[in-house]
Amino acid sequence: MKTNRLDVAPAEPRAFRLGELAERLDATLERADPAQPVGGFATLTSAGPSDLSFIASARGAAEARESRAGAFLAPEGLATPERPTLRVKEIWSAVNRLIELFRPQPPVAEGIHPTAAVAESAQLGDGLSLGAHVAIGERAVVGEGTVVGAGSTIGAEARIGRHCLLYPGVHVYHRVTIGDRCILHSGAVIGSDGFRFELVGGRLMKIRQVGVVVIEDDVEIGANCAIDRAFLDETRIGAGTKLDNLVHIAHNVTIGRGCRLTGQVGIAGSATLGDDCVVAGQSGVKDNTRVGRGVQIGAKSAVLSNVPDGAAVIGIPAIDGKEWTHVAASLRRLPRLLKRVAQLEKEQDRQ
Amino acid sequence: MKTNRLDVAPAEPRAFRLGELAERLDATLERADPAQPVGGFATLTSAGPSDLSFIASARGAAEARESRAGAFLAPEGLATPERPTLRVKEIWSAVNRLIELFRPQPPVAEGIHPTAAVAESAQLGDGLSLGAHVAIGERAVVGEGTVVGAGSTIGAEARIGRHCLLYPGVHVYHRVTIGDRCILHSGAVIGSDGFRFELVGGRLMKIRQVGVVVIEDDVEIGANCAIDRAFLDETRIGAGTKLDNLVHIAHNVTIGRGCRLTGQVGIAGSATLGDDCVVAGQSGVKDNTRVGRGVQIGAKSAVLSNVPDGAAVIGIPAIDGKEWTHVAASLRRLPRLLKRVAQLEKEQDRQ
Amino acid sequence: MKTNRLDVAPAEPRAFRLGELAERLDATLERADPAQPVGGFATLTSAGPSDLSFIASARGAAEARESRAGAFLAPEGLATPERPTLRVKEIWSAVNRLIELFRPQPPVAEGIHPTAAVAESAQLGDGLSLGAHVAIGERAVVGEGTVVGAGSTIGAEARIGRHCLLYPGVHVYHRVTIGDRCILHSGAVIGSDGFRFELVGGRLMKIRQVGVVVIEDDVEIGANCAIDRAFLDETRIGAGTKLDNLVHIAHNVTIGRGCRLTGQVGIAGSATLGDDCVVAGQSGVKDNTRVGRGVQIGAKSAVLSNVPDGAAVIGIPAIDGKEWTHVAASLRRLPRLLKRVAQLEKEQDRQ
């Protein structure tokens, strides 16, 4: 069976010399000839002799010995193999810069695609890009330098900040607010109705959902996430928080700043998370639960009660992480334990 | 870090007097001056002295004492704080009416947007609204007063009822039927193929999926839900049933009437749920399982066997709710129990 | 309450005689009059006296006795009720052929819809179909005979193979590669950024994601799936693998050939699955985990460590399937066990 290996060359092949890279990254050269050419930037496992790779941790340094990379980028103070090395103070900015240099992405055309449908009352900032078949509602505001991908829709009176990147097929409902420098991936839906129905006369009555969603600055929302608008107030995602794919945020939830919510996480209505929380994949937080600052929630957990600042919890229901490790380990001993207790009872009967 | 507070005024500021509201809601005034102005309708925590709030339960009544609200809406027979109160027979209709009065939503333009692509053989009802870049397939039917949001697509021979609301980016496949007054949120996909493959000669053969989906009247489907068409027959969602975001309904499933399926629930192939079931977040029901009427399924459960009418189950696998509470509580005592049994064995050996 | 039964006739009513069907399917007729008319092809439960149904297994044969079907399709060697039967060597190809004959689906128009926005540098194969409001980016390639549904978007330099079927509202990011004969359902997103952020100076820094996604031939991707591009290398879905709805595939994951991932499964970053794995609904695989060939992962499991070839695992964390059955059964005996041990301790104290 034939497979399809990628075969798309970047617009122009890039090659640099080590000395030139050192200058651009404000890096120090070690064991290196500044004239050594560098043909690419790659992971330790993929890099060949003409490539530069990077080492970010002691574990990476161990793996680096097996790498075929011709040179390394590394932070100061980390022992690395005896090969040409670019030393930097902070490695991740340098990694991003090298990616920019070696792997330029296809450019986005500035301007408004002729097929975009923009309401007359909408306000558009300078230098933005509206892709094909975009729809912008009445009185919506889109900030300068923002990119709205093909087929995305912005509802009436929504406000999108500056320098945001909305990939194709993002749907922002009316009156939603999105800050500056946010990234929304395809299929993300922001502002759908909260899930609230009351039984009236034996039938479910929909309670109108007219609150808003506020996405603060520097938030990233993964593909096919769904974030509900509040009932009357607001659903809020704090600045710098990142959501992976297929995350569900219910109405009136408040997520603090700098949180990371991994794939398929769900946060139920009116729950709150403090700043700097990490929620691992497929976990859920019950409605009206308060999760403190800096909390770590393990994968596939169900948080059913409040969690204090700085705690690490896991499990269904979620408990202290260390305790869970013991419980999970004990669990496999349970079938044998039942037999042991039966034996004890038998022996006691004999006495 | 700057945050982005919503700053969108409704088209016209609304203010009413208590007496006027009482008349519109068919409410009785208590401890109230009919001339008292009301500037807004808000939750107990958000309401200020010029706002009306509402109290729906005894718990709300306790919270209301702390509220700064200038007046309350409350059902008859519920003790409320000593402040002006609007008494109504049924509170939720009144809440919805007040939201309509105080928080009008941006209007939807009637008519067919010039960019909509409508097949010639499609039938469109009166007074509908097709947004920008909508696509309607051959012989599809869209009922009167229905709103189809920007970028939504309706497949060939699909039938959408009257007064439905499809938000932008909804995808209805060919031959799907949707009843009257249904609400479909962005990213909802109705009619994708059932997941059925058979191993033939060591390879997976796709079995053609040509059944339909029938969504009955008054159903709401959340953002990014996926509902598969049946193999040959039908997948059916009963009247008045509500699905939260990111719910997965597999082929040939039948969901009864008046059910609530919360975020990220999954119902596997050919499973059936009776009327009035509540399935809490992230739960799953195994294929071919029969869940009775009025069943409550707790959060993050895995229903692996049939559930009788009226049962409340939870857990993986799901068991009776009360039993689960005992099991879950016992679980944390397991590591210590192992030690206690070891101690018992040791002492018995000594005897 | 009125329900909405489907009422869409196929373009032309189909009827065949048994003898004609036998010929088309290369089948042998048993207990049958070749002139017997067949009005439809239906499941055992739905078929009426004028319909043909099918029996694929011994269990089906038992159910068939209750069926009202006028005739059966069955594989050689399977005992069937005493009714007219079409015998075939391999039943599933015959089932698909019968569906084609009796249940033709609405045709897809060839050609490029006038509203499609195709970049000048894009390369389009012969005989393809681009639906309304499709957007094709710069230097993208779409192979011959491929159907791109309304509102789908193909990013710059992406490559879609031949005879693929992209339903409406699929979003393929830049530089993604998709093989031949792939099926992508609505809302599928291929190539969104991997979820990688590093804490730099107390803030999360996004690490640029410039790798690709490679979808090999004959892959099917369910509605609202999300597949992330790799950091620098590739995310790969092996030939013939099938993903159900709402599946999340993180960056740098490698899925083998012929796998089946059921609804709402999530595979975390850099995990690998061998060929022919089956992952049941709502399960998750931890990042960097290696799952062997032919592994079966039970529903709602959390695979936290490597799994050898051919294993069957289930649970949170996932363990051997047989062991899990014992553990799960023991669990319900735990509350009683605690009492039994307390009793043993009491009696021992007395001694």
Average pLDDT rounded to a whole number, residues C13-33: 92
- pLDDT at A313 (0 to 100): 98
- How is residue C96 annotated by DSSP? H
Of B105, B132, B299, the CB nearest to A284: B299
Mutate to test the interface with B, among C2, C8, C164, C349 (most CBs of B within 10 A): C8
Catalytic residues of C: 251
Residues 321-340 of C with CB under 8 A from B: 328, 331-332, 334-335, 337-338
Q: Which strand ranges, in their side-by-side order, compose the sheet holding B40-41?
A: B28-30, B85-88, B71-75, B51-54, B40-41
User: Taking CB atoms and an 8 Å cutoff, what residues of chain A touch B106?
Assistant: 137-139, 155-157, 174-175
Contact C307, C318 (CB under 8 A): yes
Q: Can you name the residues that pair with B228 across neighbouring β-strands?
A: B192
Low-confidence ranges of chain A (pLDDT < 50): 1-11
Tokens encoding A19: 């000395």
- pLDDT at B7 (0 to 100): 36
The pLDDT tens digits of the residues spanning B207-227 come to 999 999 999 999 999 999 999
User: Taking CB atoms and an 8 Å cutoff, what residues of chain A touch B264?
Assistant: 248, 264, 266, 284
The answer to whether the Cβ–Cβ distance between A193 and B183 falls below 8 Å is yes
Q: How far is B208 from chain A (nearest CA, A)?
A: 23
A278 CB within 8 Å of a chain B CB: no
Tokens encoding C287: 């990042």
Contact C295, C275 (CB under 8 A): no
CA dist., res. A241 & res. A179, Å (int): 12
- CA torsion sign for C242, C248, C251, C253 is negative
- pLDDT at B13 (0 to 100): 54
Measured in whole angstroms, the distance separating CA A124 from the mean position of its chain's CA atoms is 27
- Which chains contact B through at least 3 pairs of Cβ atoms less than 8 Å apart? A, C
User: A130 to each of A110, A166, A304, C44, how far by Cα in Å?
Assistant: 8, 10, 43, 52
Mutate to test the interface with C, among B172, B192, B275 (most CBs of C within 10 A): B192
Of A153, A156, A268, the CB nearest to B263: A268
Residues 14-33 of C with CB under 8 A from B: none
C229 CB within 8 Å of a chain A CB: no
Place of tokens 């794995």: C277
User: Taking CB atoms and an 8 Å cutoff, what residues of chain A touch B331?
Assistant: 327, 331
Q: Is the peptide bond before C317 cis (omega within 30 degrees of 0)?
A: yes
CA dist., res. B39 & res. B18, Å (int): 10
The answer to whether the Cβ–Cβ distance between A226 and B245 falls below 8 Å is yes
- How is residue C69 annotated by DSSP? -
The answer to whether the Cβ–Cβ distance between C210 and A246 falls below 8 Å is no
- Helix (H) or strand (E) holding C336, with range, is helix C334-350
- ipTM > 0.90, yes or no: yes
Q: What's the pTM?
A: 0.95
The pLDDT tens digits of the residues spanning C269-323 come to 999 999 999 999 999 999 999 999 999 999 999 999 999 999 999 999 999 999 9
Contact A269, A245 (CB under 8 A): no
Q: Is the peptide bond before B317 cis (omega within 30 degrees of 0)?
A: yes
Taking all residues of chain C, what is their mean pLDDT, rounded to a whole number?
94
C99 CB within 8 Å of a chain B CB: yes
Q: Which of B168, B174, B184 is nearest to B133 (CA)?
A: B168
User: Taking CB atoms and an 8 Å cutoff, what residues of chain A touch C246?
Assistant: 224, 246
Tell me how many residue pairs between chain A and chain B have CB atoms under 8 A apart: 232
B139 CB within 8 Å of a chain C CB: yes
- pLDDT at B266 (0 to 100): 98
- How is residue C115 annotated by DSSP? T
At CB < 8 A and 24+ separation, what contacts does B271-276 make?
B274/B309, B275/B238
B256 CB within 8 Å of a chain A CB: no
The answer to whether the Cβ–Cβ distance between B6 and A198 falls below 8 Å is no
Low-confidence ranges of chain B (pLDDT < 50): 1-11
**C7 has a pLDDT exceeding 50:** no
User: Taking CB atoms and an 8 Å cutoff, what residues of chain B touch C90?
Assistant: 200-201
**C77 has a pLDDT exceeding 60:** yes
User: Taking CB atoms and an 8 Å cutoff, what residues of chain C touch B317?
Assistant: 328
Q: How far is C130 from chain B (nearest CA, A)?
A: 13
CA dist., res. A287 & res. B210, Å (int): 39
Of A195, A208, A341, the CB nearest to B99: A208
Average pLDDT rounded to a whole number, residues C22-27: 96
User: Taking CB atoms and an 8 Å cutoff, what residues of chain B touch C279?
Assistant: none
Average pLDDT rounded to a whole number, residues C7-36: 83
Q: How far is A145 from chain B (nearest CA, A)?
A: 17
Q: Taking the CA atoms of chain B, what radius of gyration do you get in angstroms?
A: 26
Is residue B251 annotated as a catalytic residue, yes or no? yes
